[in-house]
Amino acid sequence: MRSQQQSSRRDFVRTTSVAAGLAATGVGQALSSEAAALAPDEVLAHLLEGNRRFIAGQTSLLTRRRPADFAALAEGQAPGAVILACADSRVAPELIFDQGVGDLFVVRVAGNVATGAGPIVKGSIEFAVAELGARLIVVLGHTECGAVKAAAAHVEARDALPGSIGPLVEIIRPAVAMAEGRPGDKLTNVIRANVEKCVQTLKGLDPILLKLVQSGDLKIVGAVYDLKTGEVGVLS
């Protein structure tokens, strides 16, 4: 298993090294088909361009969501980006970024948590990078996030939450402390802090993500999706 993983990482780095030469070929609109030719910043630009189409009501990839499009990818996938998003029913990354089948490797969990989320979330993300060659990870928070709101309220009230909800919001608790003292709306600040903390967690995952971030072959960014406007704002 370890030798296969190392081979996959070598293949990924080797593919990235020729990105500049391939980027000029223009291999179509599908992010999955052109991902091998794009640097991480270009993949991000592609997603934000799709988000602008979504906001304008001019989505262009509906024809790549037919059964035939799924069948064409039955033997393999090469998504250009990993999206760690909230499980909220109003947050659908493929729609928000106007992407089709095979373009995004999406991991969704309440609160879009990575810190303290364990091997299921982290391992899924590492798999997309090491085995599938994704070179961009976006931690996507969103406005009015219920999980973050519950964490903030839980910290303030110092109460107990039932079932596994308590441990979930405990993962978000450090973001509440991080946002303390920041100017502006408290919930907005905690949502941003939670995204920032998750980004830092992923950047430090050794040996897969850390080394690729340091070499520039992988980019990890945080962003917040505005439920009212549809806009995705990348955090600096």
d(CA 81, CA 42): 11
Torsion over CA: 123, 124, 127, 128 (sign):
negative
On whether the pTM is more than 0.95, the answer is no
Q: Which two tokens stand for residue 223?
A: 């962003």
What pLDDT sits at residue 90? 97
107 sits in the region (left: phi over 0; alpha: psi -120 to 50; else beta) called beta
Q: Tens of pLDDT along 56-83?
A: 999 876 657 888 888 989 999 999 999 9
What pLDDT sits at residue 61? 60
Q: Tens of pLDDT along 173-204?
A: 899 999 999 999 999 999 999 999 999 999 99
What pLDDT sits at residue 42? 96
* Beta-strand relationship, 219-225 and 136-142: parallel
* 81-85: strand order across its sheet: 104-108, 81-85, 136-142, 219-225, 232-234
Please answer whether residues 165 and 187 qualify as being in contact, where contact means their C-beta atoms are separated by less than 8 angstroms. Answer: no
Please answer whether residues 151 and 190 qualify as being in contact, where contact means their C-beta atoms are separated by less than 8 angstroms. Answer: yes
Q: Class of 2-234 per CATH?
A: alpha beta
What pLDDT sits at residue 21? 28
Q: Which residues of the chain have pLDDT under 50?
A: 1-28
